[in-house]
Structure 1
Amino acid sequence: MTTYLCPVDGVRAAVDSAPWCCPECGSPWDLEFTAAPVPLKSLGQRVNSLWRYEEALPLPTKAVSLGEGRTPLVPMTPTVCAKLDFLMPTLSFKDRGAVMLAELALRLGPERVHRVVADSSGNAGTAVAAYCARAGLSCTVYVPESTSPKKTEQIRAHGARLKRVQGDREATARAARAAADEEGTFYASHVYNPYFLHGTKTYVYELWEDLGGSLPEAIAVPVGNGTLLLGASLAINELHAHGLIADRPQLIAVQAEAVSPLAAAFHAGEDDLGTEFLATLKPPAPTLAEGIAIPRPPRARQILRAVRESGGTFLTVTEDRIRVAQMELASRGLFVESTGVACWAAVGEWTDRTVAVPLCGAGAKTGLAI
């Protein structure tokens, strides 16, 4: 099994005995793992799920798989294509990372893991609940009180215990982290556990395969905690290091204007979301894009660095634009939840470069944005 590494102070810890964050500074872990080249020509003979990229994954087994991954890539305009990641077993892209966390928890064994705890605004929680059900693991999911009833219904349907938390997404995360410190608890955090990022990176491996061994000039990604963006960055770096792509695409990070601390920091030239800088921002406002309404993401420094190194940028979208974008996609046959339409809202009319956008969650999870 590979080793956790703290990107801030260099602390290392064995995966099978590590706390959920760096014990020295409290930062999320990275993973000391080197991917091998994925052979494009032989992929057609492999399992039709994200596990086909086995050389790039830190877990070689797939005991809890539900066939996740390999979602369709659909042209929307001459320059914009959309990846339909809402066509996953739990109807969101979070399945890519959740299957890794459930697989890891199962592999750690019952002597180490008695229950799984997660926190979420909805989609990550439903995904963790589903894959824990598949693995036969006890699961508790913490969500904000405002979470969509359809998502909480789905969490309960998978047999997970639901804990509603008064307050915002940050309050929910604090409650889950307190529970995560209990003996025998595995914190299936899509933010703190790097195995999740190695699941989300398969999004880019699929783009690369579907485009015949190339990538578009830009990849747009909705950003709250940044798990899809950081996974995309991992995959791009791996593919480039192995000589499997000649050029790295730009990463276009999209936030709701109502909650856009990373966009503000990026355009102000900040390297992180420091306390002094956050004090200069307007308080977060309610947004339809609940899945990316994160006022202080723990991996902020990594997200900002990844976007800058790619030559990309941050864009923001208004609530009115989110509403319009949802209806635009619905008129084309794609009913996507309000968070999932953010990238289409930002770059759907681009014509100056090729760009891929993820449609991350199904509209049935939240209904129409009103």
Structure 2
Amino acid sequence: MLLLMDAYACPRCHIRSTVDALTWCCPKCRGPWDLVFASTPVPLASLASRVNSLWRYAEALPPLPCGPEVTLGEGRTPLVPLTDAVSAKLDFLMPSLSFKDRGAVMLAALARGLRPRTVLADSSGNAGTAIAAYGARAGLDCVVYVPAGTSPKKLEQIRAHGARVVEVPGDREATARAAREAAGEPGVFYASHVYNPYFLHGTKTYVYELWEELGGRLPDTVVVPVGNGTLLLGAFLAVEELHRHGLVDTRPALVAVQAEAVSPLARAFRAGAEDLTGTTVARPTLAEGIAIPAPPRARQILRAVRATGGTFLTVTEEQIRTAQRDLARRGLFVEATGAACWAATSATPPRPGLTVVPLCGAGAKTGLVP
């Protein structure tokens, strides 16, 4: 069995578990784990000669036994201007065509060392395709739970990588519940992009790349789509690390975007609450990737946005539709969820300085929305 020095820790109960166990959540509160890990400063001057993947930021990544062996060259995506004040980071130009590759490679590397019987994931599509791709690269047996009605192109992609698909009747939350139940079976590694913190330490490389691209500084504002909050929380980890190591002087504001149809975090933020308020009924939305009515890391997401002086923005279905077409006319074909941040940024008075938005998933996965 693989032994690693880092440990899982529950931020609420302060219970710990070794990372070589297949325990996927806190046994007391059933909440997601954090990772007890201390990064060291990444030397900016040495990066030009390093490997062209997220493993170039080795000092910032928790130790894994076989990370470089399972890489597909993820990361190092282009940063291109949309306006004088807004640039887009093209994370849809990843091996599996979404930003989820940043976290999936971390989970695949961890799972390969643990040697489980099966790797299990649940997803509305993109995390599932990423886990399937990196699971194939790592030689792992994978099964992916998805909601009934998931994009046929995403299902085709998952199956092409050799993973088995389980379609669950109901919405994204029903899928998560079914996956969590199956995750308790012996020999199963739950490659959850929500519960497993290694995923967040992969997504934080998004901000490390911005820092490198901008010559050792960060944008003034980073806008991210938020459902389960994996990109936002990874970004917050990176911002805090860079600031703590003295590699940046100021922190960017993290602005979170949700679809109006499913916006529990935005509602809680505006109410001044520390956690979700009431029950959210998931209404249909074009932004299926962020249609999460009860994100398990809600408290952490709200704290991160407030700590950076950020805010929450919501967008209508028509704004999402318009933004996707506008980006396509600029040469950037992304899925509707990926267009949500551009929709919000276009409709909001600009903040001073440089704003960066992610374009997270390729339009080829879902097509142009009607």
Q: What TM-score do you get using the length of structure 2 for normalisation?
A: 0.96
- Superposition deviation, residue 62 in structure 1: 1.7
Cα displacement string for residues 145-190 of structure 1 (whole angstroms, at most 9, x for unaligned residues):
0211110110000000000000010100011111110100000000
> In 2, are the aligned partners of 1:101 and 1:188 still within 8 Å (CA)?
yes
Return the offset for 1:24.
Answer: 1.1
Q: Secondary structure at the match of 1:252?
A: strand
Deviation at 1:352, TM superposition (A): 3.5
Could you tell me whether the CA contact under 8 Å between 2:221 and 2:351 is conserved in 1?
Answer: no
Find the partner of 2:267 among 249, 260, 264.
Answer: 264
Which residue in 2 is equivalent to 1:70? 76
Give 2:197's match in structure 1, choosing from 194, 198, 210.
194
Report if the CA contact (8 A) 1:219-1:356 is conserved. Answer: yes
Does the alignment pair 1:4 with 2:8? yes
SS in structure 2 opposite 1:315?
Answer: strand
Deviation at 1:18, TM superposition (A): 4.6
Contact 2:227 2:258 in 1 (8 A): yes
Structure 2: unaligned runs, 5 residues or longer: none
Q: Is the 2:22–2:189 Cα contact (8 Å) retained in structure 1? A: no
Which amino acid in structure 2 is aligned with residue 208 of structure 1? Answer: W
Give the letter for the 1:256 counterpart. A
Q: CA RMSD in A?
A: 0.9
Are 1:46 and 2:44 counterparts? no
**Deviation of the 1:348 alpha carbon:** 3.3
Q: Displacement, 1:63?
A: 1.4
1:240 equivalenced with 2:243 (yes/no): yes
Name the SS of the counterpart of 2:8 in structure 1: strand
Partner of residue 346, structure 2: 348
Aligned match for 1:289, one of 287, 290, 297: 287
CA contact (8 A) 1:59 1:104 kept: no
Pair 1:150 & 2:149 matched: no
SS of equivalent to 1:88? coil
Q: Residue type of the partner of 2:278?
A: L
Aligned residues: 362
Q: Partner residue of 2:101?
A: 95
CA contact (8 A) 1:225 1:292 kept: yes
| TM-score for the superposition, normalised by structure 1 | 0.96
For 2:193 and 2:158, the matched residues in 1 are separated by 16
CA distance in 2, matches of 1:216, 1:237: 14
Amino acid at match of 2:68: K
Which residue in 2 is equivalent to 1:84? Answer: 90
Residue equivalent to 1:325: 323
Matched, 1:369 2:369: yes
Change (3 A) 1:306 1:352: closer
CA offsets, 1:16-67, max 9 Å, x none?
0251000111010000000100000000000011110000000353211000
The question of 1:184 aligning with 2:190 is answered no
Aligned-partner SS, 1:348: helix
Corresponding residue for residue 29 of structure 1: 33
Amino acid at match of 1:24: K
Output the CA distance in 2 between the equivalents of 1:63 and 1:272.
Answer: 39
For structure 1, the residue ranges without an aligned partner over 5 or more in a row are none
Partner AA of 1:316 in structure 2: T
Corresponding residue for residue 13 of structure 1: 17
Secondary structure of 2:338 counterpart: coil
Which of 311, 333, 336 aligns to 2:334? It is 336
Which of structure 1's runs of 4+ aligned residues deviate more than 4 A? none
- 2:203–2:235 CA contact under 8 A, matched in 1: yes
- Paired with 1:226 and 1:134, the residues of 2 have a C-alpha distance of 26
1:165 corresponding residue in structure 2: 168
- Check conservation: 1:59, 1:100, Cα contact below 8 A: no
Match of 1:306 among 293, 304, 308: 304
Aligned with 1:118: secondary structure? strand
